[in-house]
Every structure is written in C-alpha cells, then in structure tokens.
Chains A and B, each alone.
Chain A
C-alpha cells in the first residue's frame, strides 16, 4: 500500500522545509552594513576639527574672563580670530602643518526691524572647494564702550558665527 506518490510528497515536503530553514538562516546571519562614501568621512573629520577649534577658542583661559572668541567678535578683530583659528586648526603631530582655510561670517539680528544682518568676518576667498560649515553662538556685549561689531545693534545680544572650512 506504499506507493511512489506518498514518497514524492514527503520528499517535496522535506525539500521545501529545508529550503525555508536555510533561507531563514541566511537572512538572520547576514549583517547589513552602511558604508559611507569616503568623502563623508573626510567631511566628518573636518567638521569635528572645526567644532573643536571653535569650542577651545570659546573657552576662557581664566575664571570670569572673556574667551578669545568673544573678544575677537566683540572687537571685530578679524586678524586675532584668523591667527588663533589657523594656529589651532593646522597643528599636526608632524613638522608639516595642515593646510586648512576658512571663511567666517557673523549673523546678527536687528531688534527694531527683525532683519538678519550679515557681517563678513575675514578669511580666504572660497572657490567652491569641498567645504564644511561649523558654527557657534556667541554672546556679545555690543554696547558702545565694550563692543565694536559694525551693523549690529548696540546692545547685549547673541550672534551666530559661521565658519566655512576647507582643505587646500
């Protein structure tokens, strides 16, 4: 009473089951990896570096003092900002320094008209290199005796300092 038909069904069933189990195993044991393109890694490294430089420039050297960054922005001192930024950003462990350039802009808000003014803050000319932007909010006291930021309101305010950084 045992016939070929029954064996065929059984073999089919075993084969199907085997196929499903192998498939499930393959699916579960593979890892999905997102490999970023190389240029994004370079962007991330540059962004981290730029962020670090601005953070360290905004760390006062003594308790209660203003940081170098706040002083440079308040006094609209592009040279002091440039010297310090490039010194921090281009230092490497080799004798050959890195070759980072930047272009900085300050954005301030006029309280009377609510418009945003753009104040250029020095740097090299940007010729469309592959660049990243790092930014930092800076609290400045732009009252006449303390600050000299042109076009910005003469009051205590928070301005946005945006720095475009590129290598080359």
Chain B
C-alpha cells in the first residue's frame, strides 16, 4: 500500500544513533563555548591581577629571605655576582616570617637608573626589581614604601606615585636591630693584649630574631673603661682550621674587613691609634665569609696595645655580654599598576 506523505513513518523518527551523537555534540559545543571567553584573556590579563602581583611581592619581601639568603653581601659591581641574586627577599630567615634584616632593607632601597647602575654597587631601577622581585611578563610599575610605626628612623620609598587604580597590599613587619658586644677593659691588669674569642656554634643556637649573626651582619664590639690612655698598635685575626693550629694574620685593607674607632672619630684602620677611655671595633658583614668561616667555626681577634689593658687572658663572646636594641615595627606597602 502506498504511504501517504503526511503519515508518520519510520523514516521520520529519530534514531538512537542520532540522539547519542547529537547529545555528545551538544555537550562538546557547550563546553567549548564556555571556554571561548578565556580566549580573550591574553589581551586583558595584566589588569586582572594587580592585587595578586602586589600580594605575591609583599610575601616575597616580608616572608622570604631571598635567594641566596645572604644576597645583601654580594658586590653588584661585578655582573656575575649581580646575576647570582635570583630573588630579593628581606626576611632574616625562612622560619622567621615578618622579621626583616636591617642590612637587606638598606641594600634593597639603594638604586640608580638603568643607564648608570651596572658599574656601581646598586640595583638598577626598574629592571633589577622587575627581574628579581616582581616577576611576570608584563612591565609592571611599582611603588614600595617602608615606614616605621612609632619611629621616624625607617622611612624608605621606591618608585613613582601610583595612579588611583592599582593593586595594593600592606604588611606589618619588625626590623631586627644588630646586637653589640660589650667588654670592660682594665688598664691596671696584666695583659698587653685583648683577645676576643668567638664560638659561632654557641651564638647560632638562638632563633634568628634574638641572635647575633656575625656572618651576615656587622659585628660591633665595644671595649670600655680603659681608665688610662693606651695606644692600639695592631689587630690580628686568628682562625682555627679543622686540622691545624691557630693561625693569625694581619687584616685586609679593603672591605669587608675590621675597623676601629676611638669613640670620637669614624671607623678606620689607621694604627697606631690612641685610646683614651673606650673604643669600638666593627667587623663588617661578609668578613667572616671571606675567611671561609661558617656557623660552626671559631675565631679570635687579638688587639695588641703598648701597655696593660686587661686582667683577662681571653674574652669569650656569649649572650651574657651582648645587648640588643628592640626590633623596630614598620608598615610596608606594595603598589602595582
């Protein structure tokens, strides 16, 4: 019997095959169309994440000691040492987030414009900061400030004034202050030499905020109460090699080295030096690294005078004769645009 055109027959029904194929197609189409919006990301992506970049930069500055962690000892006049710095973090230690190193803060905020910086011991603005702190493909502009909370001692700025729309983060930190070693002299004693002995293993036992860090910070030794004037003739440094005897030698003349102040004039290395009542010695940061010492080494500084200065054969540096200034709280703000 001939079929009539308007009667439904088998050929008009949708087959299972067609339904299955159509369903899969529609699902795939929905999936692709939802992801199409992501195609335009590359045209606009830098505006989305200013806050994210600011947050990440804040974390690197406040919580990361940097790579290498003693990057502030590098001399940037040498391109190879500049290239060794991969990340500029200001923290003293990775297990002490929020505690900043004073030396790292000082070095971080010293910069020069890109045309003249490569021959100097300063960071290049803005390239070094973009490569070693901000990261990312886009040339972000940045402004980083550090202000003491109850002290005007800390007042640093880096970068131009930002526009109204920018990514922002504020972190509260404490800046660790270096400790000073204090020993009393005694001119009615029996020894002509003052020997200051360091046992780094004892010093590095404390947690980073409360410890003396001779390897990465300046070490200041104050000798007081001389009573009578004496002349400091020479200073020698002595190391204790693992297999060997105590070896003493004269100091280097170029930094990092040991310098002396008679309490009135600035630190220098001019000997003989007349000491009236007190004196101060600074062992610059990086000096011990230059000698190849580490956290397990011993070291002695021997000062030879022209008369008796003490009745102690040796002064051993312990936390009983070290005083620390309180860490300085500060607010750090990072702005990115």
Chain A residues at the B interface, C-beta cutoff of 8 Å: 23, 26-27, 29-33, 35, 41, 44-45, 48-49, 52-53, 55-56, 59, 61-63, 87-89, 91-93
Contacts and interface: CB of A to CB of B under 8 A. Distances in A.
13 contacts: A26-B35, A26-B39, A29-B39, A30-B36, A31-B38, A44-B55, A52-B62, A52-B173, A56-B98, A56-B173, A88-B149, A88-B331, A92-B331
B290 interface: no
B171 A59 contact: no
A59 B173 contact: no
A25 to B, nearest CB: 10
A34 to B, nearest CB: 10
B32 interface: yes
Interface of B: 28, 31-32, 35-39, 41, 45, 48, 51, 55, 58, 62, 97-99, 145, 147, 149-150, 157, 168-174, 206, 209-210, 319, 324, 326-327, 329, 331, 333
B35 A30 contact: yes
Given A23-B32, A27-B31, A41-B51, A63 B206 contact: yes
Q: Quick one: which of B31, B35, B145, B172 has the most chain A CB within 10 A?
A: B172
Given A30-B39, A49-B170, A63-B206, 14 more contacts: A23-B32, A27-B31, A27-B35, A30-B35, A30-B37, A45-B55, A45-B169, A48-B169, A52-B98, A55-B98, A59-B174, A62-B210, A89-B172, A92-B331
Contacts of A59: 98-99, 174, 209, 327
A61 B176 CA distance: 10
A49 B171 contact: yes
B32 A35 contact: no
A15 B169 CA distance: 52
Contacts of A52: 62, 98, 171-173
Contact of A56 (B37, B168, B329): B329
Contact of A33 (B48, B99, B324): B48
A48 B171 CA distance: 7
Contacts of A49: 170-172
B32 A26 contact: yes
Contacts of A29: 39
Secondary structure of the B contact surface, majority rule: mixed
A93 B147 CA distance: 6
A45 B170 contact: yes
Contacts of B173: 52, 56
Contacts of A93: 145, 147, 157, 331, 333
Considering the complex of A and B, which 9 residue pairs feature the smallest CB-CB distances, nearest first? A30-B38, A93-B145, A63-B210, A52-B172, A30-B35, A91-B331, A61-B326, A31-B38, A91-B149
B147 A91 contact: yes
Nearest to A32: B38
A11 to B, nearest CB: 19
Given A44-B55, A48-B171, A87 B149 contact: yes
A45 B336 CA distance: 14
B38 A33 contact: yes
Contact of B170 (A27, A61, A92): A92
B202 to A, nearest CB: 14
Contacts of B327: 59, 61
Nearest to B52: A41
B40 to A, nearest CB: 9
A32 B45 CA distance: 12
A33 B98 CA distance: 31
B33 to A, nearest CB: 10
A56 B171 CA distance: 10
A63 B319 contact: yes
Nearest to A98: B170
Nearest to A64: B210
Q: Quick one: which of A23, A27, A52, A87 has the most chain B CB within 10 A?
A: A52
Contacts of B98: 52, 55-56, 59
B42 to A, nearest CB: 8
A161 to B, nearest CB: 17
Given A33-B48, A56-B329, A27 B172 contact: no
Contacts of B36: 26, 30
Contacts of B206: 63
A27 B39 contact: no
A115 to B, nearest CB: 35
A23 B32 CA distance: 7
B35 A32 contact: yes
